[in-house]
Structure 1
């Protein structure tokens, strides 16, 4: 039996594929007036940007069959659009480059493509444009097959981040652990308190980004003159196992120590076991465990502590 939820989601993906395919067809109407196919334009663009210099690199970057790409490059060479020369580093590879004729042929295609995209964006408001770009970045990040190669940036929060973190964590904790809406209220209260009391010398928030999408966060704030607490540590499911949680914990520890705190504590629930190894490796010790009823669940609250 097919999971009905998965089937519904598969149909949603197929619906988007049809929509996007139709939209891309409209977006590339200029190709009907040129001698190049969409794939040929993609290859010319890679060569024009200099991001790939061999057939192997082109095939990898564009996901093309090597045999098909070889025939396409032979056609380009016959039309004097590219040159090939043997690589000094690897005699088995040929370095590819656009000829002046190739650059001249590609230039109007690039201009037309930019104008068409500008036309699409011009129909949207500034906030709509940003929503579209953000959604595209999320799709790229979720479908990226080599996530470990994507650098992680830790930055300070920007307007909208606090609301996003409450929204996102509420959805994740509901889907993964069955938390009810009281967790959303709890997260909102935690962030509101942090925002009101924030002292940059004593409290800090880090937002983890990959490809300009938020993939995690952590807060550190004072509990007393000598003790700090880490709050709302989280990492997006698709970005776990890449060291992001470890990076956020290390940043929190470093900040707490520099701020003069003697201890850093955090509280987790028994169902949130993924971070246990991260905490232990960072030198935290579980100092208390007690059952409690929170967020519509029977939980086992654990308090972890790290002394400096």
Structure 2
């Protein structure tokens, strides 16, 4: 793997984020197109409402291509939300996910947040293990139907 850099999100990254989330989650989880629609809305909200002090997003790049994304957005005055954490399969297992999570948490702390929350699914075992190692606590879990699949929603929280 070539040297990987984390750079700030640019509006030109939006289409890639939506397309890769849609394609990877369809392939790996069986999600339908409603997931890509959700991602498109999240990205559009970020572009439209971004507060440069509190909100930040990174794109991992290596070998001339995008390899991943992660977003930190203000949820409430003291709470940040981790969103759109994605790694291309070829970029997994090399510590890049930890590096991206560390960047997100570092920004949240520097921006004055006291808590970070995230929503995921139980089937994302590698990501959940990463969150647990970083000190996140699983605070809610419920079976649901989303994106054309039966899923188990999870909420994780971390005191910063």
- Shorter chain as denominator, the TM-score bin is over 0.9
**Residue 220 of structure 1: SS of its match in structure 2?**
strand
User: What is the TM-score when the length of structure 1 is the normalising length?
Assistant: 0.51
Match of 1:295 among 129, 143, 147: 147
- Alpha-carbon distance in 2 for matches of 1:161, 1:228: 22
Instruction: Judge conservation of contact 2:11–2:47 (CA < 8 Å) in 1.
Output: no
Partner of 1:182: 34
Instruction: State the match for 2:85 in structure 1.
Output: 233
**Residue 159 (structure 1) shift:** 4.0
Superposition pairs of residues 1-308 of structure 1, within 5 angstroms? 147=1, 150-308=2-160
Quick one: distance in 2 between partners of 1:284 and 1:159?
30
Task: Report SS of the residue matched to 2:125.
Answer: coil
Higher relative contact order (CA 8 A, sep 6+): 2
Quick one: distance in 1 between partners of 2:127 and 2:16? 22
The answer to which structure has the higher helix fraction is 1
The question of whether the paired residues in 1 share the 8 Å contact of 2:68 and 2:88 is answered with: yes
Instruction: Show structure 1 runs of 5+ residues with no match.
Output: 1-146
Partner SS, residue 126 of structure 2: coil
Distance in 1 of aligned mates of 2:56 and 2:139: 24
Question: Number of aligned pairs?
Answer: 160
Find the aligned partners of 1:190 and 1:198 in 2 and give their Cα distance: 11
Q: How far apart in 1 are the matches of 2:118 and 2:24?
A: 19
Q: Which has the higher strand share?
A: 2
Per-residue Cα deviation, 1:120-139 (whole angstroms, up to 9, x for no partner): xxxxxxxxxxxxxxxxxxxx
Give the Å deviation of 1:151: 1.4
- In structure 2, what is the Cα distance between the partners aligned to 1:290 and 1:262? 25
Structure 2 unaligned residues grouped into runs of 5+: none
Q: Distance in 2 between matches of 1:284 and 1:233?
A: 15
TM-score (norm 2): 0.97
* Matched-pair contact (CA < 8 Å) for 2:122–2:128: no
